[in-house]
Structure 1
């Protein structure tokens, strides 16, 4: 029931955005903004997005290369297809591409693959939340420090918990066994914790810089204003309820954090929508190129005995 309520809310959010677009000249304005961008700005943004894809693939390769024996190109293909899926499929269903392909192509057990994705998304959320503390309007500096401190403590505590509960191994019962499997998979995903954080921070530095650059170009504003909007759209991706393929919540998140910088809400929605279309186009082109040009690994049997 909760799933259907979330999906209903997601549809309403998306329909509200479409209604707003249809009510005036908003769509034409979005197209004009994209067409009016300087060619150099677009090329720099595309290069930064490409670098972000490579960094994300490097993070996945670093985690799974030793146990699968696969090369970087195979993980880049997986990353590009996964990224394209989550940008276009509704209700975040594209996330399933990651564990499915890890299992099918590399024989990674399903629990291991799902927990690896979960930890990747937790790291993403922690980086975005920590950076948001710097641009959130009206916060005292002590609150900003406390905010960042809480994120840092949570990021430290999860891997520690994963490695320090061997007593779960001897507890009886299905629930305890399930918790132990998740804990063991999480311990494996956080085994290279320092390197995975370096990859994640590097990826987000490049990705947010590209989005901030584009938003600043679309708005004719300072880069700091663009960064606030970029963090707004990414914070919206953490929300439990999102529009279909992110439409609606993505734009509202960007406009909400642009508003304190003097950008009218409607103008912020237009700019965030233009950015969203650019992000989706880049993801689809990259996914298509990855599927066409990069090698597809042969299906393998996973070590948990599931069919691949």
Structure 2
């Protein structure tokens, strides 16, 4: 009991330290942005953005959110009439992930799936793990293909694509190996995890539908982000794309500024600094992209919440007995 109390105190201390570091990182980032770019200059940059372009980019970003809902539907083989609920789950989960550090927002997905669709925590968590692995694979492969094609490294590009195809083809064998290893373990919880993993779609049409949907999600997201960055800066498409990919990868870091502030911009700048782009220009583009990302995530989460509320209200109206 004393050990449990000590562990809780240690955990609380770690959370406090990381929260303080995140707050400090936020303050440092705000100061660096004012020093390198200037908040007034950022506001002037936003005024030059074409409203029609911003609307189209926003629709493309919302389409990527909609495809996240489709991926959940395909992954769990759910009926189409669950679309409002799935869109709410995907947008709320994404918004929580953006705001909370250390990937703590991932907990929202199994909780929301349990609450709205009564899918147990093990099944939703293992499906989320599959989604995240495919997200990482898609993001890395898209970045690698763009970089190698721009550098005309055709041999390495062919090897990269071949490795990607082989990895996808071997997904079911990899899963079976992991399941067999977990089954041999004594703890019961690992047996439950093995059962959940064995139900994952890792071959055939269901799996490749999930893979295809994942690539559509990331291509739509990257194109939308690329459209904004190229419009507000003089960065080349290669520089902008690499910065966008690395900024998204920064979300796996254990320490974040609040809502990713600092780590997102830092990864964006470092991702293309070796291409001799100006740091101030990279930082300005990174901040504007981060602001766009936060606003779109907030709007998508709000729209998802409103859509599911209207859906439940409409459903209750249909099922409630009519009064005379």
Q: Give the shorter-chain TM-score range.
A: 0.7 to 0.9
Q: 1:139, CA displacement in angstroms?
A: 7.7
User: What TM-score comes out, normalization by structure 1 length?
Assistant: 0.82
Paired residue for 1:159?
172
Structure 1 residue 183 corresponds to structure 2 residue 194: yes
Q: 1:216, CA displacement in angstroms?
A: 0.5
Does the 8 Å contact 1:168/1:180 carry over to 2?
no
Paired residue for 2:208?
194
Does the 8 Å contact 2:84/2:304 carry over to 1?
no
Does the 8 Å contact 1:123/1:155 carry over to 2?
no
CA distance in 2, matches of 1:18, 1:274: 13
Say what the alpha-carbon RMSD is for the aligned residues. Answer: 3.1
Does the 8 Å contact 1:162/1:183 carry over to 2?
no
Does the 8 Å contact 2:225/2:289 carry over to 1?
yes
Describe how 1:1-308 pairs up with structure 2 within 5 A: 4=15, 10-23=22-35, 26-66=38-78, 71-136=82-147, 141=153, 142=155, 153-164=166-177, 167=180, 171=184, 173-174=186-187, 177-191=188-202, 192-295=206-309
CA distance in 2, matches of 1:34, 1:152: 41
CA distance in 1, matches of 2:179, 2:130: 20
CA distance in 2, matches of 1:117, 1:147: 25
Does the 8 Å contact 1:31/1:274 carry over to 2?
no
Does the 8 Å contact 2:264/2:290 carry over to 1?
yes
CA distance in 2, matches of 1:297, 1:183: 35
Name the SS of the counterpart of 1:292 in structure 2: helix
User: What TM-score comes out, normalization by structure 2 length?
Assistant: 0.79
CA distance in 1, matches of 2:182, 2:52: 57
Query: Measured at CA, do residues 169 and 273 of structure 1 come closer, stay the same or move farther in structure 2, by a change above 3 Å?
Result: closer
Does the 8 Å contact 2:101/2:256 carry over to 1?
no
Of the two, which has the highest radius of gyration? 2
Structure 1, unaligned runs of 5 or more: 299-308
Paired residue for 1:301?
none
Paired residue for 2:6?
none
Q: 1:151, CA displacement in angstroms?
A: 5.2
Paired residue for 2:320?
none
Q: 1:131, CA displacement in angstroms?
A: 1.7
Q: 1:20, CA displacement in angstroms?
A: 0.9
Structure 2, unaligned runs of 5 or more: 1-9, 314-324
Q: 1:182, CA displacement in angstroms?
A: 2.4
CA distance in 2, matches of 1:16, 1:84: 24
Does the 8 Å contact 1:77/1:294 carry over to 2?
yes
CA distance in 2, matches of 1:292, 1:270: 33
CA distance in 1, matches of 2:159, 2:18: 31
Name the SS of the counterpart of 1:202 in structure 2: helix
Q: 1:22, CA displacement in angstroms?
A: 4.3
Q: 1:166, CA displacement in angstroms?
A: 6.3
Residue-pair matches, total? 295
When structure 1 is superposed on structure 2, of 8-17 and 177-186 the one drifting more is 8-17
CA distance in 1, matches of 2:185, 2:272: 52
Query: Measured at CA, do residues 69 and 107 of structure 1 come closer, stay the same or move farther in structure 2, by a change above 3 Å?
Result: farther
Paired residue for 1:306?
none
